[in-house]
C-alpha cells in the first residue's frame, strides 16, 4: 500500500512560488526559469501547512508535489503556478531557476509544491510544460477520500490513485525494536503492547483500521517495526499532548532501563510527531509536553 511520507512531516513545504500556493497565480516569469520539458512524478499529498500550525482548528490541506525525473547537481526548487477557476485547475511547471543557486550540494531531482483547492467536489486538472504539452486528470475530493482518474498522461505520473483523507482527532503509533541476529528482537514487544494499552486505558483512545485499497495518510511502518502500525481515535480535548506526557513517563520509568534500544512514535492527524527518545534520562533536550505548540 502506497503512503506519502514527508521527511519530516512538515519539512518540505517550502513552496517554489513566492505567492501563496492556494491562490490563483500568473505563470512564473519564464526569463527566470530554465524549461524542463521532461517527465515528472506527481504525488497528491495531505499534510499540515506550518503557517497554520498554531491554529487549533486547522487541519491538513491537499497539495500537489511535483518531482523531475531528471537529476541535478544540487537540490533545486521547481517553479510552479496554479490557477483555479471553479472546478477547473491549471498547473504550470515552469522549470528550474536560471543562474547560480544557493542549494543543498547533493545530486537529486528538482521539487516543487502547490496547494490545491480544499472544497469537496470534482475537479478537472490540466498540467502544462513550457513547450505547451498538456496532461489531464480528474480529481474527486470527498470528506473521506481523494480519487484521481487519468485522462491523458504523456509525461506525468500521478499517485496515489485513491487515498484516504486524514481523519480528525486520530493518531498513529509505531513501535521499533532492536535487531537480534537477522530478525527483530520480539522479546521487547511488551513495549508496544503495554503502551498501546496505556493509551486505551488512561486516555480512552479507541483503535480503528483504515479500509483496504486506498493509501493511508500516515507514514509507512519503519523497517524495525514490530507488528502492525496502530491507529487510534480520541475525543478528549488535549488528548495528543497528554499522550506525549504519558509517553515521557513510560519511556523514563520503563523503556530507559528495560528496553533502551526500543522506540515508540506517535504522529497525529495534523502532522505533529513525538518520539520516546525525547524523554530518556540521558537526553539533555528532553522537552516537557506543556512547552509544545498546541496540537
**What pLDDT is recorded for position 244?**
86
Query: What number is the average pLDDT over the span 6-21?
Result: 33
Q: At residue 15, does pLDDT exceed 80?
A: no
**What pLDDT is recorded for position 288?**
47
**What pLDDT is recorded for position 106?**
76
* % of the chain residues with pLDDT over 70: 78
Distance of CA 169 to the CA centre of its chain: 16
**What pLDDT is recorded for position 51?**
54
Residue 27 binned pLDDT confidence (cut-offs 50, 70, 90)? low
Most confident of 99-103, 207-211, 238-242: 207-211
State the DSSP H helix or E strand holding residue 127, giving kind and residue range, or none if neither: strand 121-128
- Summarize the chain as % helix, strand, coil (round to 5): 15, 35, 45
Contact 145, 160 (CB under 8 A): no
* % of the chain residues with pLDDT over 90: 46
More confident residue, 223 or 277: 223
Q: What does 188-226 look like in DSSP terms, one character per residue?
A: GTHHHHHHHHHHHHHH--EEE-PPSSSBPSSPPPPTTB-
The model's pTM is: 0.73
Give the chain's mean pLDDT: 80
Q: Which three cell numbers stand for residue 257?
A: 532501563
| Rounded-to-integer distance, Cα 38 and Cα 155, Å | 7
**What pLDDT is recorded for position 14?**
30
| Rounded-to-integer distance, Cα 146 and Cα 74, Å | 33
| Rounded-to-integer distance, Cα 142 and Cα 130, Å | 32
Contact 27, 146 (CB under 8 A): no
pLDDT tens figures, 134-164: 999 999 999 999 999 999 999 999 999 999 9
Query: What number is the average pLDDT over the span 198-225?
Result: 90
**What pLDDT is recorded for position 4?**
39
Instruction: Output phi, psi for 254, to 5 deg.
Output: -120, -55
**What pLDDT is recorded for position 275?**
84
pLDDT tens figures, 246-265: 998 898 888 888 888 888 99
Q: At residue 200, does pLDDT exceed 90?
A: yes
Amino acid at each position: 500500500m502506497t503512503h506519502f511520507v514527508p521527511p519530516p512531516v512538515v519539512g518540505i513545504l517550502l513552496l517554489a512560488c513566492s505567492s501563496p500556493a492556494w491562490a490563483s497565480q500568473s505563470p512564473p516569469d519564464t526569463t527566470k526559469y530554465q524549461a524542463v520539458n521532461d517527465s515528472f512524478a506527481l504525488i497528491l499529498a495531505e499534510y499540515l501547512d506550518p503557517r497554520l500550525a498554531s491554529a487549533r482548528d486547522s487541519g491538513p490541506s491537499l497539495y500537489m508535489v511535483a518531482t523531475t525525473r531528471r537529476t541535478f547537481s544540487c537540490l533545486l526548487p521547481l517553479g510552479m503556478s496554479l490557477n483555479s477557476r471553479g472546478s477547473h485547475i491549471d498547473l504550470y511547471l515552469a522549470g528550474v531557476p536560471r543562474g547560480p543557486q544557493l542549494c543543498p550540494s547533493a545530486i537529486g531531482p528538482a521539487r516543487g509544491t502547490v496547494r490545491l483547492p480544499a472544497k469537496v467536489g470534482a475537479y478537472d486538472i490540466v498540467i502544462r510544460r513550457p513547450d505547451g504539452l498538456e496532461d489531464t486528470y480528474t480529481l474527486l475530493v470527498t470528506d473521506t477520500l481523494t480519487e484521481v482518474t487519468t485522462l491523458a498522461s504523456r509525461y506525468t505520473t500521478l499517485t496515489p490513485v485513491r487515498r484516504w483523507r486524514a481523519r480528525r482527532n486520530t493518531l498513529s503509533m509505531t513501535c521499533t525494536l532492536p535487531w537480534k541476529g537477522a530478525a527483530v528482537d520480539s522479546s521487547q514487544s511488551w513495549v508496544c503492547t503495554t503502551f498501546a494499552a496505556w493509551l486505551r486505558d488512561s486516555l480512552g483512545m479507541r483503535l480503528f483500521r483504515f479500509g483496504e485499497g486506498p493509501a493511508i495518510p500516515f507514514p509507512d511502518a519503519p523497517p524495525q517495526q514490530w507488528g502492525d502500525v496502530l491507529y487510534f481515535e480520541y475525543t478528549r480535548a488535549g488528548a495528543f499532548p497528554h499522550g506525549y506526557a504519558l509517553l515521557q513517563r513510560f519511556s523514563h520509568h520503563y523503556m530507559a532501563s528495560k528496553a533502551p534500544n526500543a522506540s515508540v512514535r506517535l504522529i497525529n492527524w495534523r502532522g505533529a510527531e513525538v518520539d520516546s527518545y525525547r524523554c530518556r534520562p540521558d537526553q539533555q533536550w528532553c522537552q516537557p509536553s506543556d512547552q509544545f505548540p498546541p496540537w
